Amino acid sequence: MNTPSDTGLQAKLAEHAYRIRRFALQMGEVQGQGYVGQALGYADVLAVAYCHAMSFRPDDPEWQGRDRFLLSHGHYAIAFYAALIEAGIIPEDELESYGSDDSRLPMSGMATYTPGMEISGGSLGQGLPIAVGMALGLRLKGNPAFVYNSMSDGELDEGSTWEAAMGAAHHGLGNLICLVDINNQQADGPSSKVMGFEPLADKWASFGWHVQRVDGNDLPAVIAAFDTARQLAEAKPRVILFDTLMGKGVPFLEAREKNHFIRVDPPEWQQALDILDQAQGAAR
């Protein structure tokens, strides 16, 4: 049963998630494209990460005590920039530059371009092995920060993901938390057709990880999963498998034929924003 403080936290995070969705749609409208289906689906996870779970200083993105968030799936940059804006690391007016020449917000995330972007993702399957090195480094320095590696379910196809899964367990990396967005969509179609990965929880558990699988659009569940992953005493790496719905929050995009790259027609950007605004207005 929810306590009043839980309810307050959920309402606060729902507001953050709404704003992250909104920023992502605004960026998508700038370019007339972008991975907005994924952004809408993953916004709740990003809201909990940046507005509840992680330690960071918005005005000092390289603060040594920060929790590291690695965007392995570089094409989720549109979602991530929205979260960085909501976290106060990137100014809101910069979203108009998304994907433009010489912008700090390129279409695929790169560490050398954007404050708060820890790695250059996009060559999928690289985030988790980098996270292993960072977690080893933090532990050696005695720095208690967590390393979060955020990845897509398509990256489960990459052998390097499993090299890193073995390595993280072997080295007992209790400061490593892996977040997997399971929307079951890859470039060539549903993941189950491209390269089936189930039973996924069993796979990670057999690799020596602490595993949770939750509905990534159920805020209380997402909050609880982050809290559990951070508070676990055992010296083992933790993974949270988030089942998410692409287009979440905009019913006509939720219902649209599922593709890696959801089509959005020009007038639909504003319609989607209006739907989000109405729903959030009603919830307040």
178 forms part of the interface with other proteins (CB under 8 A):
no
Provide, rounded to whole angstroms, the least separation between the CB of residue 135 and other proteins. Answer: 8
Burial (CB count <10 Å: 0-12, 13-18, 19+), residue 52: middle
57, 170, 193, 263: residue in contact with other proteins (rule CB under 8 A)? 170
160 forms part of the interface with other proteins (CB under 8 A):
yes
Q: Which is nearer to other proteins, 14 or 136 (CB)?
A: 136
Contact 241, 211 (CB under 8 A): yes
Q: Which is nearer to other proteins, 162 or 269 (CB)?
A: 162
Provide, rounded to whole angstroms, the least separation between the CB of residue 159 and other proteins. Answer: 7
Contact 214, 225 (CB under 8 A): yes
The one segment of 80-88, 121-129, 204-212, 252-260 that binds other proteins by CB under 8 A = 121-129
Helices (H), the chain: 4-31, 36-48, 77-86, 127-141, 159-170, 191-194, 200-206, 219-231, 251-255, 268-283
The one segment of 6-14, 18-26, 126-134, 227-235 that binds other proteins by CB under 8 A = 126-134
Token pair listed for 195: 């390269």
Residue with tokens 């279409």: 107
243 forms part of the interface with other proteins (CB under 8 A):
no
| Strand arrangement of the beta sheet that strand 68-71 belongs to | 68-71, 147-152, 176-182, 238-243, 210-215
118, 155, 181, 268: residue in contact with other proteins (rule CB under 8 A)? 118
- Please compute, for residue 127, the number of CA atoms within 13 A of its CA located in the half-sphere on the CB side: 34
11, 166, 195, 205: residue in contact with other proteins (rule CB under 8 A)? 166
Q: How many residues bind other proteins (CB under 8 A)?
A: 29
14 forms part of the interface with other proteins (CB under 8 A):
no
Residue numbers at the binding site for other proteins (CB under 8 A): 111-112, 118-120, 123, 125-126, 129-138, 140-141, 143, 159-160, 163-164, 166-167, 170-171
